[in-house]
């Protein structure tokens, strides 16, 4: 098989043995990657050919992007062949009149953002992993991040897709219009399926004109109710230009602003901190409106302190508190979703369960509340020994709150055993049926999301 792959794609494209072992399993796991071979392919046609060859040998395949996922969704075993799209990393075209771009799946998100910005376009998907994650990976996981309340998840930004199926068939649905109701919208099947139904090779995305102004603030509030009230006020008063509303509970804020970690922009004892951002078209008027809104909120007590950055560097110093959480690690990283109205109840339950577990335990909470999304870090980590106990606490506390065990991270390997707590048996059976239909021999990313029956 290895020789056949080298014959087909060239020695340069086929990595094996120690060369694979030099690669880390993921951003989060420095252990060696395992696989029979790793293919660095350069076109949809090559991926199609590779899948034909693998299908003929009943060879399992794991597709890898930036390896920043946190649920083990792209981890291979020694029995798998890895397909990497790292050499399919170009923006193929930008159509300025229609505001669309065609991008290869292996392109790095931040590179894409920057190259499109040079052409006057905003590609609004944005998340902490932007420097490593790939466009294909963000499609496969239906990535979310910090701008979802305004621009939606990756699903809402994808107009068209090219996908290689388990048998090598290429489904090319490279639509570039906002409206196209010609039969079933097949691309939706693949978005968020975590590489288990097909291999995304090229993507058509929707672009936005680059905003001419940006307003940022960090502020503090005394209660979760005040945090929600201020969100609602901003959503209403900023006429849909609010692009981020990141909430940090005191315990998270403290855990990343201690001496030697990030600099605290304001007192460390407020119950809640928020970073809010809006993007508009009129720098002066937008800033005035944003500022007067904050002043009113200060006056009526909804917020109790605020910092407005005066430069990009000052803005970055605020965002790093939210985005660089290394000072709070090691910890278990969770990502749940639930209605805003249930968040207080949930966090209260969590605090109680964590306290009941052991005296040195902690849970740090932050998240995109407008999206119904909380991230939670639990400690102590103890080399991973507490994973199962923490799962039980985090997922157990969701009981009856109409939440889900994954807002944006996906299921991968790590949450597979808990899928049944968020989806009904009928839903999971339909998922299995779809998997069997599209990948009858279970060749694509086997063992991820759910097991076939």
Q: Which is nearer to its own copies, 325 or 395 (CB)?
A: 395
Orientation angle between helical segments 283-299 and 224-237, nearest 10 degrees: 150
- Report, in Å, the least distance between residue 301 CB and its own copies: 20
With CA atoms as reference, report the closest residue to 376 among 389, 388, 367: 367
Residue 25 lies near its own copies (rule: CB under 8 A): no
Could you give the maximum distance between any two Cα atoms of the chain, in Å? 72
- Kindly identify the residues of this chain, within the stretch 242-261, that bind its own copies according to CB under 8 A: none
Rounded distance, CA 446 to CA 61, Å?
A: 8
Of 5-13, 46-54, 381-389, 421-429: span binding its own copies (CB under 8 A): 421-429
- Kindly identify the residues of this chain, within the stretch 99-128, that bind its own copies according to CB under 8 A: 100
Rounded distance, CA 445 to CA 453, Å?
A: 16
Of 102-110, 236-244, 305-313, 321-329: span binding its own copies (CB under 8 A): 236-244
Q: Per-residue string for binding with its own copies, 267-286, x by CB under 8 A?
A: ------------xxxx--xx
Query: How does DSSP classify residue 202?
Result: E
For 360-376, what is the HEC assignment?
CCEEEEEEEHHHCEEEE
Residue 439 lies near its own copies (rule: CB under 8 A): no
| Bridge-based pairing state of the strands 121-122 and 91-95 | unpaired
Q: Which is nearer to its own copies, 74 or 81 (CB)?
A: 74
From 371, 377, 445, 446, residue interacting with its own copies (rule: CB under 8 A): 371
Burial of residue 332 (number of CB atoms within 10 Å: 0-12, 13-18, 19+): buried
- Report, in Å, the least distance between residue 247 CB and its own copies: 14
Q: Which is nearer to its own copies, 136 or 410 (CB)?
A: 410
Residue 396 lies near its own copies (rule: CB under 8 A): no
- Tokens matching residue 16: 């094996």
Helix (H) or strand (E) holding 383: none
From 23, 49, 155, 349, residue interacting with its own copies (rule: CB under 8 A): 155
Q: If DSSP codes are grouped into helix, strand and coil, which group holds residue 220?
A: strand
Rounded distance, CA 336 to CA 120, Å?
A: 35
Q: Quick check: 203 and 158 in contact, CB under 8 A?
A: yes
Residue 24 lies near its own copies (rule: CB under 8 A): no
**Alpha helices, H only, 309-438:** 312-323, 343-357, 387-396, 425-438
Q: Which is nearer to its own copies, 111 or 291 (CB)?
A: 291
Burial of residue 23 (number of CB atoms within 10 Å: 0-12, 13-18, 19+): middle
- Kindly identify the residues of this chain, within the stretch 314-343, that bind its own copies according to CB under 8 A: 337-341
Q: Which is nearer to its own copies, 241 or 378 (CB)?
A: 241
| Bridge-based pairing state of the strands 272-280 and 213-221 | antiparallel
134 upstream amide cis, omega within 30 of 0: no
- Kindly identify the residues of this chain, within the stretch 193-222, that bind its own copies according to CB under 8 A: 193, 197, 208-209, 211-213
Of 238-246, 257-265, 267-275, 311-319: span binding its own copies (CB under 8 A): 238-246
Q: Which is nearer to its own copies, 59 or 422 (CB)?
A: 422
Residue 348 lies near its own copies (rule: CB under 8 A): no
- Report, in Å, the least distance between residue 183 CB and its own copies: 5
Residue 433 lies near its own copies (rule: CB under 8 A): yes
Q: Which is nearer to its own copies, 72 or 144 (CB)?
A: 144
Of 9-17, 105-113, 346-354, 405-413: span binding its own copies (CB under 8 A): 405-413
Q: If DSSP codes are grouped into helix, strand and coil, which group holds residue 401?
A: coil
Residue 84 lies near its own copies (rule: CB under 8 A): no
- Tokens matching residue 116: 């499109």
- Report, in Å, the least distance between residue 368 CB and its own copies: 7
Q: Which is nearer to its own copies, 24 or 186 (CB)?
A: 186
Residue 240 lies near its own copies (rule: CB under 8 A): yes
């Amino acid at each position: 098989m290895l020789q056949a792959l080298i014959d087909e794609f060239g020695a340069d494209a086929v990595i094996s043995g120690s060369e694979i072992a030099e690669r880390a399993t993921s951003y989060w796991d420095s252990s060696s990657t395992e696989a029979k071979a790793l293919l660095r392919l350069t076109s949809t046609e090559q991926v199609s050919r590779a899948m034909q060859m693998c299908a003929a040998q009943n060879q399992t395949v794991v597709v890898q992007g930036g390896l920043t996922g946190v649920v083990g969704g792209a981890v291979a075993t020694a029995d798998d062949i890895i397909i990497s799209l790292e050499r399919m990393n170009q923006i193929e075209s930008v159509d300025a009149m229609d505001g669309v771009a065609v991008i290869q799946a292996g392109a790095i998100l931040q590179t894409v953002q920057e190259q499109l910005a040079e052409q006057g376009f905003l590609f609004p998907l944005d998340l902490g992993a932007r420097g490593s994650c790939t466009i294909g990976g963000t499609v496969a996981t239906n990535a979310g991040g910090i701008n979802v309340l305004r621009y939606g998840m990756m699903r809402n930004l994808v107009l068209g897709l090219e996908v290689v199926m388990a048998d090598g068939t290429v489904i090319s649905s490279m639509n570039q219009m906002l409206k196209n109701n010609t039969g079933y919208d097949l691309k939706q099947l693949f978005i968020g399926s975590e590489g288990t139904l097909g291999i995304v090779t090229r993507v058509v995305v929707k672009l936005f004109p680059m905003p001419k102004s940006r307003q940022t603030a960090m502020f503090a509030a005394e209660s979760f109710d005040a945090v929600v009230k201020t969100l609602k006020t901003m959503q209403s008063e900023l006429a849909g230009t609010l692009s981020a509303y990141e909430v940090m509970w005191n315990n998270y804020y403290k855990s990343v602003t201690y001496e030697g970690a990030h600099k605290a922009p304001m007192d460390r004892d407020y119950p809640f901190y928020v970073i809010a951002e809006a993007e508009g078209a009129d720098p002066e008027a937008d800033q005035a409106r944003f500022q007067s809104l904050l002043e009113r909120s200060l006056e009526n007590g909804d917020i109790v302190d605020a910092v407005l950055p005066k430069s990009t560097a000052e803005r970055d110093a605020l965002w790093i508190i939210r985005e660089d959480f290394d000072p709070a690690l090691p910890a278990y990283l969770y990502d749940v979703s639930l209605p805003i109205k249930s968040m207080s109840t949930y966090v209260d339950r969590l605090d109680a369960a964590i306290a009941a577990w052991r005296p040195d335990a902690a849970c740090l909470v932050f998240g995109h509340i407008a999206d119904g999304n909380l991230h939670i870090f639990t400690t102590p980590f103890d080399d991973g020994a507490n994973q199962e106990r923490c799962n039980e606490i985090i997922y157990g506390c969701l009981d009856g709150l109409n939440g889900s065990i994954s807002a944006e991270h996906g299921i991968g390997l790590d949450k597979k055993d808990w899928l049944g707590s968020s989806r009904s048996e009928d839903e999971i059976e339909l998922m299995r049926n779809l998997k069997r239909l599209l990948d009858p021999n279970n060749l694509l990313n086997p063992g991820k999301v759910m097991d076939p029956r």
